[in-house]
Chain A
Amino acid sequence: MKGVKRRKVLIGVGALMVGALLAGCPPKKEAVKSVAPGDVASKVYVPPGKHDEFYVFFSGGFSGQVSVYGIPSGRIIKVIKVFSVDPETGYGFTPETRPMLMTSHGFIPWDDTHHPWLSQTNGEQDGRWLFINANSVPRIARIDLSTFETTEIIEIPNSAGNHPSPYGTENTEYVVAGTRFSVPIPQKDVPIDSYKENFKGTISFIKANEPGKMDVAFQILMPGFNYDLARCGRGPSHGWCFFTSYNTEQAHTLLEINASKNDKDYIAAINWKRAEECVAQGKYQEMPATYYHNYYDEEKHMAVSEVKKSVKVINPKDCQGVAYFLPTPKSPHGVDVSDDGEYIVGGGKLATVIPIHSFSKMLKAIEQKAVEKEIDGIPVLKYDAVLHCELEKPCLGPLHTEFDGKGFAYTSCFVSSEIIKYDYKGCKVVDRAPTYYSIGHLLVMGGDTKKPYGKYAIAMNKITKDRSLPVGPELLQSAQLYDISGEKMQLIHEFFTVGEPHYAQGILADKIKDKVKKIYELEKNKHPYAVKSEKDARVERKGNEVHVYMTTIRSHFTPDNIEGIKVGDTVYFHVTNLEQDWDIPHGFAVKGSEDAEILVMPGQTKTLVWKPKAPGVYPFYCTDFCSALHQEMQGYVRVSPAGSNVPLKYYTGTAQK
C-alpha cells in the first residue's frame, strides 16, 4: 500500500516538473525594471550655481497649485499658489488675497488644477503669462511671469468640471473652457435620469489678452456629452479650436460601462471667428448667470472681486457653421494639433488605432457637405472625409500627443505604460520607450507651438510604486525625462513632482528670466494701509477694530511693543516690508493666529487679522530667517480685559530704560 502511494506521488511530482519546463521560466524582475543605460549623467548635470535651460510648469492636480522645475536637472524652484490657500504666505487668508478665491459658491479654499498653458504670440511662447484651469469650481487663473504670482481668476458660468481648458489661441486672444460634466443649463432641480432631456454642455471662450480684463466672450451650447480636452488651431487652422467628447451615450451612472459603448465619439471643431460674427450679428442669448472675476492689483498689493450677472450663449442652431463633430474612436482624451496646424490627433483611450484627422480635409468635407447626421444643430462630418490616416497598433490606452517640429508626434499610452514616437504624416511608429508607470500626460518642450524646441520629453506618471524610496502609502508622482534629440528616445533622468501633474508646459528660460522682478518697489506701493517709513508706523483704534500700521526692516518691527488692545478687538496687522533688497522677505506670526502666518516680500504690504481671546502678553516674531539678528526680530502685544482702560501705546526702542 505504502509503495503504491509513494509511486503515485513520484509520478505526480515528475509531471509537475515536466509541465514547469514546458511553460518556461518565470520572468526575471530585472527584465521589467529598467534604468537609464550608459553615461547619461552629464546630460542632466547642471553644476551648482548654473541655471537650467528650461522652465517647466507642472500643474499640481489635487494640490490646486502649480510647481516650477528647472529642466534638465529636475530641480524644483517654486510652488505658485493658485487655487488652494497657503498658510505659509497667507495666500487665501489675508484680506488682500481672500477675494482671489471667491466664487459664486462662496469662498473656496481648494481646487484641482489640470492644464497649464503658456501665452503665445504668433503661435510661439511669449513668456508673459501662464494660464491654468480649476476643474471642480470651473475657473481659469492667470499667473504673471514677471512675479510668478496669480494675478487673475475668472469663474466660468454654466459649467461643471472645467477640464478641456485653458488651451489658448495663437495670439492669446482667448483661452477656452468646457464642461467635463454636463449639467442642467441653467441649473435646476431635475431627476438625474432625465439626463438626455435636461443636461447640456457648454464650450466657453474667455478673453485673455489684457491683464485684469478676463471676460467670458461667449459660450456655445453643446449636447450633453462629457467634453474632455482641447487644443486650438495654429497657422492654417487658426480661428478654430478642437474639443474631445466622450459619453456620447449620455449615461449618467456607471459611466465606465455605459459610456464605453459607442464605437466612435466626437471631436468638436469650433469656429470661433464664426462665433464672433454671430455675436456681432446678435445671434445669441444673453443668459442670466452669476460668476466671479477676481483681479490682483500688483501696486495695491490687493485683490478685488467683481460679480458678473450675465453671459452670451450661442445656440449652434442659430449660428450655422460654428460647430462640427468629427467622429473619433473611442472615448478620446487628447486632441492635439500639429505644429504646422494641419493634423489633429485624437487619443482614443479605448481605441486600437490613433486617428489622425486632416484640417484641410475637414474644410473640404464642410464645403462638400459630407455630413453623416446632425446633433442639436451640429453637423457630424463623415469619418472617412476628415481622416488623414489611422495609426495602426500604436499602443494601449493612447492619451495625449505633442510634436517635436521635425515631423514626429509623441503619444502617451497609459495602459501599455509607454511613449510612442511616430511619423504622423506617413502614419508609422518609429520608436517606443517605456515609462514608470502608467504615463498620463506627456510634454515635449514647446510641443504645442508653431516652433517646438524638441530636445526633451517628460512623462508624467500616475503610478510611482518602487521608483522612489518608500515613504508610506501616499507617494509623490514620478516623472521621467527623455532625450528626444536623436532617432531613439533615451531615458536620462527621473524626479518626483508635487501633487498630481496632469500636464506641464516648458519654455526656454531665456524667454522669461530677464523679465522677472526681484522686489516690489516701495515707492509704487499703493496699498491703503502701507507705511513707507518707520516714522509713519502707528496704531489706530476705530471702535473694536485696531489697525497696526507696521513696518519691517532688518532686524526689527516698528512698532514692536503694543499696549491697549482689549479682548473683543479685531486687530489688523498691516505689515509693510521696507526692504528693497533681493530675497529679503520678512515673516509675521502672532501667537494664537487662527488664520496663518504671512510672508511679506520686499516693498509689499500684507495684513494678518487677529482676534485675541484672553488677556495676557502675546509675542509676535519674524518667521523668515532674514538676517544675523533674525532671532531678535520680535515684539509683544499686551491684551487687556474687555472694557479696561489701558491706553493705546506703541513704540520701538524708545521706551527702554
Chain B
Amino acid sequence: MNKISRGLLALSSLLLILVYFFPLWRIELIAPQYPEGLRMFIWVNKITGGTEFDLYNINLLNHYIGMKTITPESIPELKIMPFIVGFLILFGLVSAFIGKRVLLYAWVLVFVLLGIAGLVDFYKWEYDYGHNLDPNAPIKIPGLAYQPPLIGTKQLLNMMASSFPDIGGYIAIASLLLGFVALIIDMRRE
C-alpha cells in the first residue's frame, strides 16, 4: 500500500467510529391520521422512536394486524453489531499500520460481506414481522403481508411505509467507498 491508500484506509476506519453516534437506518410510517409521521431508528445497538413514544405507538397500531411487538431487548443482532463495527475499525487501523496490500483487499471484502449479511438479516426480520401474524388479529386481509420494503417506499393499508439508510448508514457507505478509493489508488500506483 502506498501512503495515500494507507491514509485513506485509516480515515475510513476512523470514520466508522461515528456509526456509534448516529442511527444506521430509519423506517417511517405516514398515514392520513398521522401527518406528522411515526419514525423508528435502528442503531448499531438499539432501536429508538422519532419521539419518546413513537415505538410504543407503532407497536400499538401493529396489534390490529397481529404483528409481533418490536422489543429491542429481544433482538440479538443489536448486541453483536457494536463488536462487528469495532472489529472493522480495528482491522482497518491495523491494516493501515502494517500496510500490506492484501490486508486492504481483505478489509474491503469483509466490509462488503458484512454489509450484505446485515441487509439479508434485516430482510429476514422484516419478513418475519410482516408475515408471522397473530391469527386472532382484528384486521385480516387475505394475501396481504405487512413487510416493509428493504429500501424504498410501499403503501401498507393506510400507512405509507418507507425504509432508508440514516446518517450512520450513509457514514458506513462513505467509509466503504473510501476503502474502494484506497484500493483503486493502490492498484493505479502499481
Contact = CB atoms under 8 A, between A and B. Distances in A.
A629 B138 contact: yes
B56 interface: yes
A553 B60 contact: yes
A580 B64 contact: no
B57 interface: yes
Contact of B56 (A580, A628, A632): A580
Interface in A567-618: 579-582
A554 interface: yes
A519 interface: yes
Interface string B64-77: 10000000000000
Contacts of A580: 52-53, 56-57
Contacts of B53: 519, 580-581
Nearest to A627: B64
Contacts of A554: 60, 64
Interface string A504-521: 000000000000000100
Contacts of A629: 64, 138
Contacts of A519: 53
Interface string A625-637: 0001100100000
A170 B60 CA distance: 47
A629 B138 CA distance: 9
Interface string A21-32: 000000000000
Interface string B39-65: 000000000000011001100100010
Nearest to B60: A554
Which one of A579, A580, A629, A632 has the greatest number of beta carbons of chain B within 10 Å?
A580
A569 to B, nearest CB: 33
A580 B51 CA distance: 11
Interface string A523-564: 000000000000000000000000000000110000000000
Contacts of A582: 36
A441 B158 CA distance: 48
A519 B52 CA distance: 12
A581 B51 CA distance: 10
Interface string A112-144: 000000000000000000000000000000000
A581 B138 contact: no
A649 B56 CA distance: 30
Nearest to B61: A554
Contacts of B57: 580-581
Chain B binding surface, main DSSP class: loop
Contacts of B52: 580
Which one of A581, A628, A629, A632 has the greatest number of beta carbons of chain B within 10 Å?
A581
A293 B111 CA distance: 68
Interface residues of A, number: 10
A579 B63 CA distance: 14
A629 B139 CA distance: 10
Contacts of A628: 64, 139
Contacts of B60: 553-554, 579, 581
A481 to B, nearest CB: 29
B44 to A, nearest CB: 26
Contacts of A632: 138
B55 to A, nearest CB: 10
Contacts of A553: 60
A327 B42 CA distance: 73
Nearest to B63: A554
B158 to A, nearest CB: 10
Nearest to A521: B52
Contacts of B138: 629, 632
A553 B61 CA distance: 11
A553 B60 CA distance: 8
Contacts of B64: 554, 628-629
A581 B54 CA distance: 8
B51 to A, nearest CB: 9
A553 B64 CA distance: 12
Nearest to B138: A629
Contacts of B139: 628
Interface string B137-156: 01100000000000000000
Interface string A465-509: 000000000000000000000000000000000000000000000
A555 to B, nearest CB: 8
Nearest to B36: A582
B134 to A, nearest CB: 13
A641 to B, nearest CB: 37
A419 B75 CA distance: 69
Nearest to A632: B138
Nearest to B56: A580
A596 B52 CA distance: 33
Nearest to A628: B64
A346 B139 CA distance: 67
Nearest to B158: A628
Nearest to A49: B35
A84 B51 CA distance: 36
A465 B109 CA distance: 84
A361 B167 CA distance: 67
Interface in B6-62: 36, 52-53, 56-57, 60
A343 B52 CA distance: 51
A582 B52 CA distance: 12
A532 to B, nearest CB: 12
A581 B52 CA distance: 10
A554 B52 CA distance: 19
Nearest to A583: B33
A579 B64 CA distance: 15
B126 to A, nearest CB: 24
A470 B48 CA distance: 56
A208 B150 CA distance: 57
A546 to B, nearest CB: 29
| Shortest beta-carbon contacts, A-B, top 10 | A580-B53, A581-B57, A580-B56, A629-B138, A554-B60, A581-B53, A580-B57, A553-B60, A581-B60, A628-B64
18 contacts: A519-B53, A553-B60, A554-B60, A554-B64, A579-B60, A580-B52, A580-B53, A580-B56, A580-B57, A581-B53, A581-B57, A581-B60, A582-B36, A628-B64, A628-B139, A629-B64, A629-B138, A632-B138
Interface of A: 519, 553-554, 579-582, 628-629, 632
Given A629-B64, A629-B138, 16 more contacts: A519-B53, A553-B60, A554-B60, A554-B64, A579-B60, A580-B52, A580-B53, A580-B56, A580-B57, A581-B53, A581-B57, A581-B60, A582-B36, A628-B64, A628-B139, A632-B138
